[in-house]
Amino acid sequence: MEVLMLNVSFLELKIPPLLLCLITGLLMKILASFWPFFQFSVQPFFVFLFAAAGSFIIFLASHQFNKQQASVNPLQPMKTAVLARRGIYRFSRNPMYLGMTVLLFAWGIYLQAVSGFLGVLLFVLYLTQFQIKPEERFLFKKFGPLYQDYCQQTRRWL
């Protein structure tokens, strides 16, 4: 029996991650408003804590990219000339995306509905499949064993 495979490669590297983050935040708000599954209460301090952590992670990652004069355009990984491996990139191969995820988590806490967190899960799944994996293919082609060693030493997310 032949299995029908859906070719979704047309989605790869199409939506800028920052725009995807904003769209996800809107989706989370809609989910929390119209399907407020398991609402909870939380101190504003936790929202601030996660928002600050996410912002700090993004700042560190951007700073490291600037220091190394690396390409920051996520839609054109083929233009990458430098492999960022220092600073926060020693702990995560995708700290900018990790920071965005932490910011979305803070937003989910602020919305105070578990249903909103579904957006965080969708963000991570979509970003991994249609942004990170294609980037990894380009980086492996460009940097070969150097990138392979980096992947073995450093996790994709955290």
Hey, what are 20's tokens? 């995807």
Residue 113 dihedral angles phi and psi, to the nearest 5°? -145, 130
The pair of three-digit structure tokens given for residue 69, joined into one six-digit string: 């004069």
Query: Is residue 23 included in any domain, yes or no?
Result: no
Tokens 């920071």 label which residue?
A: 99
Examine residue 14 and state whether it is found in any structural domain, yes or no: no
Residues 141, 156, 19: CA angle, nearest 5 degrees: 90
Q: What is the mean pLDDT of the chain?
A: 92
Return d(Cα 83, Cα 142) in angstroms, integer.
10
The contacts of residue 41 (CB under 8 Å, 6+ apart) are: 112
pLDDT recorded at residue 1 = 43
Residue 4 lies in a domain: no
State yes or no: pLDDT of 71 exceeds 80.
no
Residue of higher predicted confidence among 130 and 1: 130
DSSP SS3 for 113: strand
pLDDT tens for each residue of 93-126: 999 999 999 999 999 999 999 999 999 999 999 9
Question: 11 or 104, which is more confident?
Answer: 104
Asked whether residue 55 is domain-assigned, the answer is yes
15 domain residue, yes or no: no
pLDDT at residue 8, as a whole number: 65
pLDDT at 37 over 80: no
- Give pLDDT, residue 4: 47
Q: What is the pLDDT of residue 75?
A: 85
Q: Which of 58, 72, 65, 64 is nearest to 16 (CA)?
A: 72
Mean pLDDT of 38-56: 94
Full domain range(s) for residue 48: 43-153
- Among 6-15, 37-46, 77-86, 103-112, name the one with the lowest average pLDDT: 6-15
Per-residue pLDDT, averaged over 54-80, amounts to 90
Q: Within a domain: residue 9?
A: no
Tokens of 90: 């020693």
Q: How much is the pTM?
A: 0.92
pLDDT tens-digit profile of 131-148? 999 999 999 999 999 999
- C-alpha 101/C-alpha 92 separation (Å) is 13
- How far apart CA 27 and CA 34 sit, in angstroms, is 11
Tally of domains within the chain: 1
Tokens of 114: 């578990």
Helix H or strand E segment including 52: helix 44-67
